Amino acid sequence: MNSDPTAIKNGKIKGWNKIKILGVIFIVLGLVVLAGGIAVFIYNQETDSEGYATSNVYHVNTSTYAFALYMNEYNISSTWGWLGQANIAQIKYIVKTADPSKELFIGYARVADSEQYLREFQSEMATYWHWTARPYHAEIILAATTISGVGAPMELPQTKTFWLASAHSSSTAEMTYLPLHDRYIWFIMNLDGSKNITADIQIAFKSPILTLVPFILIPIGITLDVGGIYLIRRKK
């Protein structure tokens, strides 16, 4: 039994059309992936040299011995937890002194460990405030503070052992800590334990995984597009 040449030809044409359609799909997917990689690359250029997006500045000017901010835990979606917490989010705390003659101390500690220390001397605390930290955006909104306690601290802040992170500087003090699964206090004090603190504070956020995304998506997008073009231009 002889094969029908017309049927064979039609079958080849249909097969070739399927390859062309697959090529178009590859090109479209490639363009989408490439656009995503380029978009993330552009957003990454808006961060600082370390990849952090920095918040607005809040000016601290207190006549007390400490300025303290209570902070709730930072929530990381369980969807991305498998990437590792340190790869998803990092938060930096920045305090720049306005009085170079005094060395600032900043510390981060759990409420359960450090609240008693805070109560031992006069301090100013933020009573209504909100902080935001997410990719390419960080913000501090602080509307009200209150002064509580009396007297000076009996122990200098750097002698305490409950700090999860701390730093001191006569210019800009910086520390990093990701607050998870607890409540915390951010302390700002003079290193010598004296009163009168004048400083500018900021928080900054970065997601290290986003630094790598463009270098993954852009090559994949280019590969898909090249593959799609090859399939479309491929001879029958």
Average pLDDT taken over every residue of the chain: 88
Q: Which residue is associated with the tokens 């090859």?
A: 230
User: What residues does each domain of the chain span?
Assistant: 5-45+212-233, 53-209
Rounded to whole angstroms, how far apart are CA atoms 220 and 212? 13
Which residues, other chains included, contact 155 with Cβ-Cβ below 8 Å and sequence gap of 6+?
Answer: 117, 193
Which residues, other chains included, contact 94 with Cβ-Cβ below 8 Å and sequence gap of 6+?
Answer: 54, 172, 173, 174, 201, 202, 203, 204
Three-point CA angle 64, 146, 99, nearest 5°: 35
Mean of the pLDDT values across residues 1-13?
52
Which residues, other chains included, contact 114 with Cβ-Cβ below 8 Å and sequence gap of 6+?
Answer: 107, 160, 162, 185, 187
pLDDT of the residue at 7: 47
Q: Options 3.30.420.40, 3.40.50.80, 3.90.1010.20, 2.60.120.380; which CATH number does 53-209 get? A: 2.60.120.380
Q: pLDDT tens for residues 33-86?
A: 999 999 999 988 888 888 999 999 999 999 999 999 999 888 776 666 667 777
